[in-house]
Chains A and B, each alone.
Chain A
């Protein structure tokens, strides 16, 4: 086994060596500018880009012409939400999103609020899903866009996207989804799901960092966007800037591999995740955060009561995972996603997210499980809260000296 063990695949993934191989010629041999129409260097680059466009489109059931290349999902989310808001401002000024969205969506919405748009942040149910009736009721004649992520980056919850898409279609409202955690991991089809815009990034599906895409529907309806960068009018005028050809080729290859291997990979991930879950569930006072039913097969998020998350990470320092504890965040606030599920701050502080990936082995899962059990036990010996819990003290009734 090689250390440290990487189980943080919701943050980023290693580039698949096959993706690297596909990219390499585009640095040296086909280095041309894909926008150069009058010589072979440009044509070679363009060919690589168009092949990738098709590979991405095929993975999500779209047409090649509906794929717009960007620098990653943060840009895709900004372009989708601001681009729609500005283009359709005459039609309405209301946007609906959810409390558990990624910051790239939430902060984009907050920005638009300053520009005079009205945003509804839907609460979520205990498993992390949005309430479809609440969504239906939130849509008004001023609503122009609904933005709900496909799957959540912390708890792996898969939203009822097809139902959301259907509601949006019925009401004549555009539907954007941040597909970062789902595309390439589970089947996603923009036609079946009635998705109008979808953000994708390469580095979450074994492609390189710094490249992503936005799916923009061309038919029923034809979605228009106000460009967020001025320049040469690349990508049908929606996103100017010379294309990152090697990155795009890498994203395309990553999508092609994901499409071919998805059924086997999902089954393998699910088996590893369930194995990890079964072992960790033997720890007393451990809780799964979010529901298990509609969950990405490679995600597990658990809280280990009375053990603070950062100290737990310190004890498992040969394993790369992340925690919802305040101490591991820049803001010193525990995870807003876990809090939106109704989890108390105390349990949010004790949460660990495991993200299984293409290169995770069963041997690694067993090592991680055993190490977790050992460290949780050690830290509980140190924990005054564990001692009180064992003595039968109701911690919710204690008057804490908060600081």
Chain B
């Protein structure tokens, strides 16, 4: 199967590879997929609590080239967006940008799921800290 230039570029030069401190209350971590299915994505965001803007995003992905490219692209798009803007990212946007063939659409779905999971995690953590703050 031939890969698009954009997939190859992300595969050869993945953006924002790495990890953020899971314990930081401003960091949300999403991990989706399973080793048996051949792809696992871990996506992390760091949100500025005052502005609600995503200041940093990191990923690590076990999966095919399209899965790596989808998550790499997702981290690029997340940076500088508000949490609500980030939630508006659709898998079809990733498909279009990377010119993914039909058989690789599930990679983009996984990336969208990872974004949502990271935001969910951040929201759960920040509401927990807010409650702790209120009761103190």
Contacts and interface: CB of A to CB of B under 8 A. Distances in A.
The CB with the most chain A CB atoms within 10 A, among B39, B106, B109, is that of: B39
B62 A334 contact: no
Q: Which bucket holds chain A's interface residue count? A: 20 to 34
Given A382-B68, A384-B62, A403 B32 contact: yes
Secondary structure dominating the interface of A: helix
Contact of A384 (B31, B37, B117): B31
Interface in B106-131: 106, 109-110, 113, 117
B40 A311 contact: no
A322 to B, nearest CB: 13
B111 to A, nearest CB: 11
Nearest to B34: A400
Interface stretch (B11-19, B49-57, B79-87): B11-19
A327 B61 contact: no
Given A385-B35, A401-B34, A403-B32, A310 B113 contact: no
Contacts of A385: 35, 40, 62
Interface of A: 306-311, 314-315, 325-327, 332, 334, 344-346, 349, 381-387, 395, 400-403
Q: Which bucket holds chain B's interface residue count? A: 20 to 34
A139 to B, nearest CB: 36
Contact of A382 (B3, B39, B60, B113): B60
B38 A314 contact: no
Contacts of A311: 11, 63-65, 67-68
Given A310-B65, A385-B62, A403-B113, A326 B38 contact: yes
A13 B13 CA distance: 34
Given A349-B36, A349-B38, A383-B61, 4 more contacts: A311-B64, A314-B3, A325-B38, A386-B62
B46 interface: no
B68 A401 contact: no
Nearest to B3: A314
Contacts of A401: 31-34, 113, 117
B95 interface: no
Nearest to A387: B60
Nearest to A395: B35
